[in-house]
Amino acid sequence: MTAPSPRKPEDGAVTHSLPEADTTKVQIVGGPISLRALAVLGLIVFAVGFWHGRQMSNLETRVAEPIPASPAAQPTISSTPQSATAAAAQPVQSSAPATVTIRMVKFAPKTLEIKAGDVVEWANKDLTPHTVTSSPNSASHELNSGPINAGASWQHPFEKPGTFPYYCTFHPEMKGVVVVK
């Protein structure tokens, strides 16, 4: 491109003229997304999200059902005198611990009622670690599991009656209560 050359018209003012522009035509092949295409894409994303949310809520209600204990966990009583004597010498083990399942960033059941002396087990069936920590406003600060990794569990015995609220320190919206009678 060359620099403009000054010209003097008849009135004495100095003006500059530019060289003529190249008149090559440019054709735009792809343009911005139209408003209609953006609206259709938004509806598709909404529909997929809605369907996914419905499926996840259905999964949560199916998973919250309690799993019965296996027959192997039940104590057996033999009719032979030797095993009866051996069984009497061993302390009788209480029933299996009450279980709170951690799934979908929720404690299930949210409120658990047990008897004094019972043990509660928190089983993490979620994809991320969680904690079981006494609520700050709780009179008794005895629950502190530390991180419970995915697939792991943590147990705690409750010796005295009371109401024990707890939450997950990683996800403060996760809350639960153990009521000991």
Q: Whats the size of the chain, residue-wise? A: 181
Phi-psi category of residue 151: left, alpha or beta, with phi > 0 → left and psi -120 to 50 → alpha:
left
Strands 106-108 and 119-124: unpaired
| Domain locations in the chain as residue ranges | 97-180
- Residue 91 pLDDT > 80, yes or no? no
* CATH code assigned to 97-180: 2.60.40.420
Q: What is the mean pLDDT of residues 71-80?
A: 39
pLDDT for residue 101 is more than 80: yes
pLDDT at 94: 54
pLDDT over 80 (residue 70): no
What average pLDDT score do residues 56-75 get?
A: 46
Confidence of residue 138 (pLDDT cuts 50, 70, 90): low
Q: Which residue has the higher pLDDT, 75 or 127?
A: 127
| Segment 18-38, tens digit of pLDDT | 667 667 776 666 667 788 888
Query: What per-residue confidence (pLDDT) applies to 66?
Result: 46
Task: Specify the DSSP element, H or E, that contains 179.
Answer: strand 175-180
Does the pLDDT value for residue 6 go beyond 60?
no
Rounded to an integer, what distance in angstroms lies between the CA atom of residue 103 and that of residue 124? Answer: 7
Question: Given pLDDT bands bounded at 50, 70 and 90, which one contains residue 142?
Answer: confident
Output the six-digit token pair for 51: 């369907």
pTM value > 0.85: no
More reliable by pLDDT, 73 or 134: 134
Q: What percentage of the chain carries pLDDT values higher than 70? A: 59
- The whole-number pLDDT of residue 30 equals 63
Which carries the bigger pLDDT value, residue 145 or residue 14? 145
What is the predicted pLDDT for the residue at 48?
84
Gap between the Cα atoms of 148 and 131, Å rounded = 6
Cβ(181)–Cβ(115) under 8 Å? yes
